[in-house]
Amino acid sequence: MSSLLEGLAFQKRDSLLHKLDPRVKLFYALAVMVMAGVHNKMLPLLVMLLAQAPLAALGKIVRLWARTLKASLPLVLLIIGTNLFFTWLRGSLTDLYIVEDILALAVRFLVFVASFSIFTLTTSPDDLSLALEQMGVPYSFCFMFRAALRFTPVMVREARTTMDAQRARGLELDKGGPIARARRYIPILIPLIVNAITRAWSMAEAMESRAWGASRKRTSLYVLRLRGRDYLAFSAVLFSLIMAFYAKFYLKFPYIIPIIRSALGI
Amino acid sequence: MGIIEVEDVSFTYSGSKRPALDHVDLSIKKSEFVILTGPSGCGKTTLCRCLNGLVPHFYSGDFRGRVLVAGLDTREHEIWELSQHVGLVFQNPENQLFCLTVEADVAFGPENLGLPREEIRRRVEWALKVTGMWELRHRPPHELSGGQQQRAAIAAVLAMKPEVLVLDEPTSFLDPAGAAEILSLVAELNKRLGITVLLVEHRLDMTSPYADRVVVMAKGRIALDGPPEEVLTSREARELGVGIPKVIRLYELLAERGLRLPEVPLSPGQMASLISEVVRCR
Ligand SMILES: Nc1ncnc2c1ncn2[C@@H]1O[C@H](COP(=O)(O)OP(=O)(O)OP(=O)(O)O)[C@@H](O)[C@H]1O
Ligand SMILES: [Mg+2]
């Protein structure tokens, strides 16, 4: 799970995708979500998944992107497992077409992960919050989001230090049953919570001292401006979205199991 | 009238029985460099909070008396107005930097004020340059050293263009090198730009050479207030546990042995020249 989160964290690189306007990239992530949402067959979903690999290459994030996908495998298996289980309860597990549809659901989930990871890996949180701000999302919400990202590594470091400190005092974290273990985490959680509250207070104090909430019309030092490449990328995404809807309503996709079977000769 | 006038101020935090400030009077003139010191819990932080309106607007409680900042009564003006006159720098640099780059953090205050973009840009550039943070402006705060973080925090406050800088133990989270870095920056801001400074500090060895005045608090009251040479050689200061600088202890020990220097030295360099002067005269 932690590597899944890591795979969503922004990576500073010099690439075309990184330079793209965050709003265009957000549109891309949402459009892919819609495209994958309206399709439920294996073939189009597989195409959507594979079509994103060149994009990851364009953003110079292939390794991290692949790692994110790999890290989401447990969830994928969970989706497949539960669906297979309920199909089995209904007694229709013998139908291979149903199995393919279930696998398609898992691929759909991978498509979601793939597009959002491309988005988050190439968009700095500052850019994202600026994009939200310029799209009319209230500043306090954007700030909250940014501060959460800013302080996550700090809190993780603090948690590690607290755990080490309590271990040094003889606290054994990985012994005993689940309840005994959970109880042992109390001496770690309490200082963490107290620290978080103290931190929140001093942050609020510092924010107030720097005119937080002074004017309803806050100015932003940075402005996002759409350039030629942004319009180009936007059009490409829009075109794919239209094509996906067209395909959904006017094309009939074959199952791939018979194709594989005939190719293998079984 | 001073740029800061604290007139007979008492303050008790709500929920607390003992007053944190007890009939405090303090006047600070423009461009003065004042050190505030005293034992833990004597009310130094609370006094700082009074100067930009955090007390009584952010911290509620029983507030008596009056604080004037650049002529503004802190009870009648909001924190954001007062913060354009008094900039407050806190102990822990980490909790005062909430953005993902130094530059964004420095812009935070002026952005909140809703200033025109060009003005924000000018102020940010000025604040970053004056604190020596210009080269580091695109770095995320958590990748910086403690001293650099605290400099960024000072830049962020300076971008509000305050006449007064109040720093509450800005070096207590830093190593000696970081502390020296911050203290010389503050001294320079005071000398070169004429910014009024109120510095809460325990390390008087490093800071007293810069100070025009030292104020000592005890139990919510002002116990001593005067030029460093006077306050730091007084018996009361020693009784209150003020960290007397080593050069002053040395000056006193020499005096006990009959070598009386013509002035009270505040730095080793000053002491060296005083001693060589006396020795040469003999
Ligand atoms: N937020 C608060 N709520 C209630 N009481 C407080 C609060 N902050 C401080 N106090 C109390 O007010 C008194 C003065 O505290 P203050 O923090 O001003 O002292 P200080 O001189 O800054 O101490 P230190 O050197 O430890 O920083 C103390 O008795 C403290 O317990
Ligand atoms: Mg304090």
- Interface test with chain A among B95, B102, B113, B166, by most A beta carbons within 10 Å: B95
Looking at chain A, the whole-number percentage of residues with pLDDT higher than 70 is 97
Antiparallel, parallel or unpaired: β B196-200 and B86-89 = unpaired
Q: Do A147 and B156 touch (CB under 8 A)?
A: no
Q: Tell whether A85 and A150 lie within a shared domain.
A: no
**Domain extent listing, chain B:** 4-241, 245-282
A139-143, A151-155, A220-224, range with the lowest pLDDT = A151-155
Mean pLDDT throughout B64-89? Answer: 96
Q: Tell whether A141 and A254 lie within a shared domain.
A: no
Q: Is ipTM beyond 0.95?
A: no
Residue A131 resides in a domain:
no
Distance from the alpha carbon of residue B44 to the mean position of ligand 2, in angstroms: 6
Residue A22 resides in a domain:
yes
| Pick from B140, B155, B109, B137: nearest CA to A152 | B140
Q: Looking at residue A255, what DSSP letter applies?
A: P
Residue A59 resides in a domain:
yes
Q: Is the Cα dihedral B203, B206, B210, B213 positive or negative?
A: positive
Q: What is the mean pLDDT of chain A?
A: 88
pLDDT confidence of A3, banded at 50, 70, 90?
Answer: low
Q: Do A202 and B142 touch (CB under 8 A)?
A: no
Higher-pLDDT residue of B33 and A190 is B33
Q: Tell whether A86 and A157 lie within a shared domain.
A: no
Answer yes or no: is pLDDT of A2 > 70. no
Q: Tell whether A116 and A231 lie within a shared domain.
A: yes
Residue B135: both structure tokens together: 């080269």
Beta bridge partners of B21: B11
- Name the residue among B112, B117, B120 with its Cβ closest to that of A214: B112
Q: Tell whether A116 and A243 lie within a shared domain.
A: yes
Q: Does B108 touch chain A (CB under 8 A)?
A: yes
Query: What is the Cα–Cα distance from B186 to A79, expressed in whole angstroms?
Result: 60
What are the contacts of A193-201 at 24+ separation with CB within 8 A?
A: A195/A158, A196/A155, A199/A151, A199/B95
Query: What is the Cα–Cα distance from B280 to B282, expressed in whole angstroms?
Result: 6
Q: Does A146 touch chain B (CB under 8 A)?
A: yes
Minimum CA distance residue for ligand 1 atom 28: B41
Decide if domain B4-241 falls under CATH 3.40.50.300: yes
Q: Tell whether A107 and A18 lie within a shared domain.
A: yes
Query: What is the Cα–Cα distance from B47 to B21, expressed in whole angstroms?
Result: 7
Amino acid at A225: R
Query: Ligand 2 being an ion, which residues bring their Cβ within 5 A of it?
Result: B 45
Q: Tell whether A7 and A116 lie within a shared domain.
A: yes
> Which residues of A fall within a CB distance of 8 Å from B150?
none
Q: Tell whether A29 and A100 lie within a shared domain.
A: yes
Which stretches of chain B are DSSP H helices? Answer: 44-51, 79-82, 102-113, 117-130, 146-158, 176-193, 204-207, 228-231, 235-239, 246-256, 268-281
Answer yes or no: is pLDDT of A170 > 70. yes
Q: Tell whether A164 and A107 lie within a shared domain.
A: no
Mean pLDDT throughout A132-158? Answer: 86
Q: Do B110 and A124 touch (CB under 8 A)?
A: no
Residue A132 resides in a domain:
no
Q: Do B80 and A125 touch (CB under 8 A)?
A: no
Residue B71: both structure tokens together: 């002529």
Q: Tell whether A22 and A101 lie within a shared domain.
A: yes
pLDDT confidence of A186, banded at 50, 70, 90?
Answer: confident
Amino acid at A41: K
Q: Tell whether A83 and A148 lie within a shared domain.
A: no
Beta bridge partners of B165: B87, B197
pLDDT confidence of A1, banded at 50, 70, 90?
Answer: very low
pLDDT confidence of A8, banded at 50, 70, 90?
Answer: low
Q: Is the Cα dihedral B185, B191, B195, B198 positive or negative?
A: positive
Residue B188 neighbours by CB under 8 Å, 6+ apart: none
Scan for tokens 């460099």, then name that residue: B33
What is the domain extent for residue A201?
137-225
Minimum CA distance residue for ligand 1 atom 22: B45
Which residues surround ligand 1 with Cβ inside 6 Å? B 13, 16, 20, 40-46, 59
If one counts the domains in chain A, the total is 2
Query: What is the Cα–Cα distance from B50 to B68, expressed in whole angstroms?
Result: 10
* pLDDT the model gives residue B278: 87
Query: What is the Cα–Cα distance from B135 to A50, expressed in whole angstroms?
Result: 42
Give the predicted TM-score (pTM) of the model.
0.85
Q: Tell whether A107 and A234 lie within a shared domain.
A: yes
Q: Do B94 and A223 touch (CB under 8 A)?
A: no
Mean pLDDT throughout A49-77? Answer: 92
